[in-house]
Amino acid sequence: MIRFLVLVHRWMGIILCLFFSVWFISGAVLIYHPFPSLSEVERLSHRADVDYSKISVSPSEAINAANIFEPDRLRLIDREGRPIYVLHSINNTVFTMSGDDGIKLSAITNETAGRIAESFLSKPMSRVDGPIKYDQWIVHQWFDTYRPFYRVHFDDTDKTVLYVSERTGEVVQKTLGSERVWNYFGAVIHWIYPTVLRKNWELWDQTVWWISLLGVLTTVAGLWLGVSRLRVVKPANRFIISSPFNG
């Protein structure tokens, strides 16, 4: 049993120490280059004001028309000069309705997403991709309500990319070229965040837990081996605890 623990502890230690080295370096990168995000302040500062004079549908009418039994919140936004109700349910479904004529809105088009993104940054875009459900910068479950997205590229000096929700027509994520490059060496490695793994939240969660558990078990095995292999010697009436390891 001791020989088995020594073998397991040694090789698990080697493997996990490689992980720890990578986590240390990627964590240092992450301190100075956090994961891309569109802050609430920036998002609101670029949003057009709602023209309340165009509203003819009351909030209660919008809620009733949505036929959502457990609504979570109701928002009023502007989309290309029109007031839009956005109703969220507690199970991440979303319903959009125009506030001027009460018509339920369908998903936005590629062209609409491009215009919304151009209006957001006040500059011309170069191309629109999608709609897409996942890429490296929208894998978090927070984005589930707004999926799928149109990815709108700009040929500016920052290589900006905006993500426009097909469901609500809102810009909900923004990335810059430098952020994307640095975060492949930072957050993606540090959080074990590759898209193929992170888009499945349960699989990613279990992966993180199991790696952590292996680290704990390796530590416990090392502690047990350290204690069990100590030697007690009493030369010249002195009590000394020594280790079998030298050098």
Domain housing 202: 2-32+195-242
Residue 155, C-beta contacts closer than 8 angstroms, at least 6 positions apart: 126
Domain-embedded: residue 183:
no
Output the average pLDDT for the chain: 89
Encode pLDDT of 92-143 as tens digits. Answer: 788 999 999 888 898 999 999 999 999 999 999 999 998 999 999 999 999 9
Say whether both 132 and 210 belong to one domain: no
Per the DSSP assignment, residues forming a β-bridge with 231 are 242
Say whether both 166 and 119 belong to one domain: yes
Q: Given pLDDT bands bounded at 50, 70 and 90, which one contains residue 69?
A: confident
Say whether both 12 and 106 belong to one domain: no
Say whether both 170 and 94 belong to one domain: yes
Encode pLDDT of 21-61 as tens digits. Answer: 999 999 999 999 999 999 989 988 888 899 999 999 999 88
CA angle, residues 81, 87, 92, in degrees to nearest 5: 125
Give the total number of structural domains in the chain: 2
Of residues 198 and 92, more confidence is placed in 198
Domain-embedded: residue 50:
yes
Distance of CA 56 to the CA centre of its chain: 38
